[in-house]
Chains A and B, each alone.
Chain A
Amino acid sequence: GAVVSQHPSWVICKSGTSVKIECRSLDFQATTMFWYRQFPKQSLMLMATSNEGSKATYEQGVEKDKFLINHASLTLSTLTVTSAHPEDSSFYICSASTLAHQETQYFGPGTRLLVL
């Protein structure tokens, strides 16, 4: 149980285009979803927290207009990187938790984004 998927697993795009990454909880309802970013050989940094049906809460320094997060249902959250630039190239990982077990996050496999 507690499986989280992400799609796509990797994406290459041209500078200036937008990219959407999906995060799905496959066998549970995720009241809260989290989006992290991981640079090579570094730890995970939280970008934002989203609750179903509410606006996402962004961490300091994360541009909310650049990283659009939507959590429209209890099983799906999306992260859209708008007008992507090479410096946005990174590994993006989502996680999800349930209302009954908010203390534990289950992570997706990650999406590697390369902006050319």
Chain B
Amino acid sequence: AQSVTQPDIHITVSEGASLELRCNYSYGATPYLFWYVQSPGQGLQLLLKYFSGDTLVQGIKGFEAEFKRSQSSFNLRKPSVHWSDAAEYFCAVSQYGNKLVFGAGTILRVKS
């Protein structure tokens, strides 16, 4: 069965600092990989996705993620965090057209 691990429940970074959120998945083949962001009381917004091709994926709001097959990882990065980036971030995997399996989420706090 597919599973997604986000090892960090909470992360606090200073505004302007770089950010990396970790995501590891367990799946037999290369799955479809996603990062979503959720602000309090809101739905999920798609930040970026990876299906194939270039392993470095650019998303919205200045985020990027890198797929590393050898490590079964899909970590999310941002070079300079803004206070408005404070939210909860979910990594998810799926087979094509099938259900998404989400990680437990990582809550990002940004300190000024």
Mark A residues whose CB is within 8 Å of B: 4, 6, 32, 34, 42-44, 46, 49, 59, 91, 93, 95, 97, 102-110, 112
- Chain B: which residue is nearest A6 at the CB level? B43
B36 at the interface (CB under 8 A from A): yes
> Which of B46, B90, B94, B97 interacts with A44 by CB under 8 Å?
B90
Query: Which residues in B have their C-beta under 8 angstroms from that of A109?
Result: 42-43
Q: Write the B90-106 contact mask toward A (1 if CB under 8 angstroms, else 0).
A: 10001011011011110
Query: Which residues in A have their C-beta under 8 angstroms from that of B42?
Result: 109-110
Is A43 touching B96 in the complex (CB atoms < 8 A)? no
Q: Separation in Å of the A54 CB from the closest CB of chain B?
A: 14
Given A43-B103, A44-B90, A104 and B43 contact (CB-CB distance below 8 Å): no
Q: How far is the CA of A109 from the CA of B43 in the complex (A)?
A: 4
B45 at the interface (CB under 8 A from A): yes
Given A43-B90, A43-B104, A44-B90, A107 and B99 contact (CB-CB distance below 8 Å): no
Query: Which residues in B have their C-beta under 8 angstroms from that of A4?
Result: 43
Query: Which residues in B have their C-beta under 8 angstroms from that of A49?
Result: 99
Is A43 touching B102 in the complex (CB atoms < 8 A)? yes
Query: Which residues in B have their C-beta under 8 angstroms from that of A44?
Result: 44, 90, 100, 102
Query: Which residues in A have their C-beta under 8 angstroms from that of B51?
Result: 103
Chain B interface residue number, banded: 20 to 34
- Chain A: which residue is nearest B32 at the CB level? A103
Given A43-B90, A43-B103, A44-B90, A107 and B44 contact (CB-CB distance below 8 Å): yes
Is A103 touching B99 in the complex (CB atoms < 8 A)? no
Is A104 touching B49 in the complex (CB atoms < 8 A)? yes
Query: Which residues in A have their C-beta under 8 angstroms from that of B36?
Result: 107
Is B99 touching A34 in the complex (CB atoms < 8 A)? yes
Is B43 touching A108 in the complex (CB atoms < 8 A)? yes
Is B96 touching A103 in the complex (CB atoms < 8 A)? yes
- Chain A: which residue is nearest B34 at the CB level? A104
B28 at the interface (CB under 8 A from A): no
- Chain B: which residue is nearest A4 at the CB level? B43
| Cβ < 8 Å to A, chain B residues 9-53 | 32, 34, 36, 41-46, 49, 51
